[in-house]
């Protein structure tokens, strides 16, 4: 390689305008190939080239447009799965392009929406899609989501698959609850709260929707809303032990000691020998004789 086409890591950071943390994260996600170490000036150091710079500029541009880096990885992983192992394309030879909420991959004049497998042809900028591979059915998307959600490294693919389902079938409850749970487990509480809110609107008689919504509201500090939804879950399913347990915690935070005691006791009646029963007994003893310091919470939303 011509020495004029070689760049040290520090030069890359300065030229592209990114931080060491960003570069390390993108390399870990395999959005850019990590160069092999060479020995410039007698010291081992990773040397980058123009192709690395081009890819990094694209990644920076897309993430600057609020495209999550994990979505870029999802697109690349899907594209790789469609290629024979013996013809795997170098990352630097691919172009990543935004297409609405998704990412498409361009290679050798062909643009593919890799997650769905759709070939995309652009007639005068119209961006017309021609289905080269059978478009996934809702059942296909569900199978993909369930396959991915058990693998922490593929959670983002599961989220993307569930997003496709709820976009096409907005009233389907199960995928929406699963999507909300994935958001919750990844720490995206606001997105989880929105999914569970919609789930409750779709099926107000489903206790799990109310329980999940209450759990997120608790974490967001919206305690009265959490109490209302725990109470609704219990109205629908009085023997819902976990709802009693979590409701007791919320009422303690609200200063409603008598109501908390009632829920702790009901939890112990339902589940006296679980791993959490000793804690429930401790809380009952701690709250014994304590007055309510909060006004009652209306169970109406």
pLDDT bin (cut points 50, 70, 90) of residue 220 is very high
- Determine the topology of domain 1-66 in CATH: Multidrug-efflux Transporter Regulator; Chain: A; Domain 2 (1.10.1660)
- Determine the topology of domain 204-301 in CATH: 1.25.40
pLDDT digit string (tens) for 266-282?
999 999 998 889 999 99
State both tokens at 26: 């993108």
pLDDT digit string (tens) for 239-255?
999 999 999 999 999 99
Spatial distance between the Cα atoms of 246 and 213, rounded to a whole number of angstroms:
12
- Which residues make up the CATH 1.10.1660.10 domain(s) of the chain? 1-66
pLDDT bin (cut points 50, 70, 90) of residue 176 is very high
More confident residue, 41 or 147: 147
The residue-averaged pLDDT of 33-37 equals 71
Kindly report the number of other CB atoms within 10 A of residue 11's CB atom. Answer: 13
- Which residues make up the CATH 1.25.40.10 domain(s) of the chain? 204-301
More confident residue, 51 or 273: 273
Q: Where are the beta strands (DSSP E) in 8-65?
A: 37-38, 45-46
Per-residue model confidence (pLDDT) at position 174: 94
The burial class, CB within 10 Å (0-12 / 13-18 / 19+), for 253 is middle
Per-residue model confidence (pLDDT) at position 262: 95
Taking the complete model, does pTM exceed 0.85, yes or no? no
């Amino acid at each position: 390689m011509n020495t004029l086409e070689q760049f040290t890591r520090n030069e890359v950071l300065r030229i592209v305008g990114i931080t060491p943390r960003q570069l390390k994260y993108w390399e870990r996600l395999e959005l850019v190939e990590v160069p092999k170490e060479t020995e410039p000036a007698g010291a081992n150091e990773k040397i980058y080239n123009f192709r690395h710079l081009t890819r990094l500029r694209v990644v920076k541009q897309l993430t600057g447009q609020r495209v999550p880096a994990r979505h870029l990885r999802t697109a690349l992983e899907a594209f790789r799965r469609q290629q024979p192992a013996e013809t795997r394309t170098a990352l630097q030879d691919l172009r990543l392009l935004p297409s609405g909420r998704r990412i498409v991959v361009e290679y050798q004049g062909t643009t593919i929406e890799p997650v769905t497998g759709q070939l995309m042809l652009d007639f005068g900028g119209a961006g017309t899609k021609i289905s080269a591979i059978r478009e996934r059915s809702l059942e296909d998307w569900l199978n993909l989501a369930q396959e991915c959600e058990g693998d922490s490294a593929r959670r983002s693919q599961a989220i993307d698959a569930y997003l496709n389902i709820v976009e096409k079938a907005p009233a389907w409850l199960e995928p929406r609850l699963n999507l909300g749970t994935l958001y919750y487990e990844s720490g995206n509480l606001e997105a989880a709260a929105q999914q569970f809110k919609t789930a409750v609107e779709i099926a107000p008689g489903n206790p799990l929707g109310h329980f999940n919504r209450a759990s997120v509201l608790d974490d967001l500090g919206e305690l009265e809303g959490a109490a209302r939804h725990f109470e609704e879950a219990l109205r629908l399913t009085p023997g819902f032990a976990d709802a009693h347990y979590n409701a007791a915690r919320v009422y303690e935070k609200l200063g409603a000691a008598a109501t908390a005691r009632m829920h702790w006791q009901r939890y112990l009646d339902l589940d006296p020998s679980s791993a959490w029963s000793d804690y429930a007994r401790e809380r009952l003893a701690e709250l014994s004789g304590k007055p309510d310091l909060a006004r009652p919470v209306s169970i109406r939303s």
